[in-house]
Amino acid sequence: MLKTFRVDLHIHTCLSPCADIDMTPKRIVQRARQEGLDIIAVSDHNSVENFPALAELAEGLTVLPAMEVTTSEEVHLLAVMPDYEAALTLQGRIYSYLPIEKNSRLHFEQLVVNAEGQLVHFNERSLIEPVDMTVEETVQFIHSLSGLAIASHIDRELYGIINALGKVPEDVDFDALEISFRTSPEEARKRFENYRHLPWLWSSDAHHIDQIGRAFSSFLIERPSFDEIKMAIKGLGGRKVLP
């Protein structure tokens, strides 16, 4: 039986250089439950190192591994992965372009933590930097790992694909487009009518605890899982992203 689930595929943790250090696993999970979310994705910049801590706490809440990749064009892409192994493979590719910089924590904290929020180590890569992969190459690599490739916050000037490239390229096989909380569905229909052939998602892009819940998508699926999310985005088996 298909049911409606509330989904936010774009939440940062204290590992992301631009996120608050209070974005710890316990606080994120607690807030997500308070906001009635059923599925969230941990989507830090260019890293998945804090996913295990959230997954450990996720009883009653489905947590998916994800990453917000910054491409060579300085476009943000969400990579939602089928499992942690695939996410680690993506991370390995991304890290090959992000050399360790000694004492980078002097600029950004970039905290890798355990489920209790205790520091495991500082990530000393510059996670805010673009990697040497184009939008097309990044999407292709995500798909090679059976992940979902979603253009982040297409309505934003900073790191949005339309502002960076002038359009959403027709020859890039995106699975969906994300629109930020700043743009209502009504406004989005006016601005992005040319891209109605792709599913539109709303996410919180939360960098602070009180931002979780400010936007989410509704999915008509059978159960909370990556496979069901993928089927809904593809419009298979009656699953779908609800308008």
Q: What backbone phi and psi angles, to 5 degrees, belong to 136?
A: -65, -45
Q: Is residue 106 pLDDT above 60, yes or no?
A: no
Q: How far apart are the first and last CA of the chain?
A: 20
What kind and span of H or E run contains 142? helix 135-144
- Report pLDDT for 177: 98
Work out the mean pLDDT of the chain and round it to a whole number. 95
CATH classification code of 3-242: 3.20.20.140
- Tell me how far apart the alpha carbons of residues 197 and 213 are, in angstroms, rounded to a whole number: 26
What kind and span of H or E run contains 87? helix 84-95
Neighbours of 37 (CB within 10 A): 22
Q: Is residue 107 pLDDT above 80, yes or no?
A: no
pLDDT of 230-241, one tens digit each? 999 999 999 999
- Report pLDDT for 240: 98
- Tell me how far apart the alpha carbons of residues 29 and 60 are, in angstroms, rounded to a whole number: 10
* Cα angle 197, 179, 140; round to 5: 60
Domain ranges, ordered by start, for the chain: 3-242
Report pTM.
Answer: 0.95
Listed residue (4, 82, 96) closest to 47, CA to CA? 96
Q: Is residue 103 pLDDT above 60, yes or no?
A: no
104-113, 142-151, 164-173: range with lowest mean pLDDT: 104-113
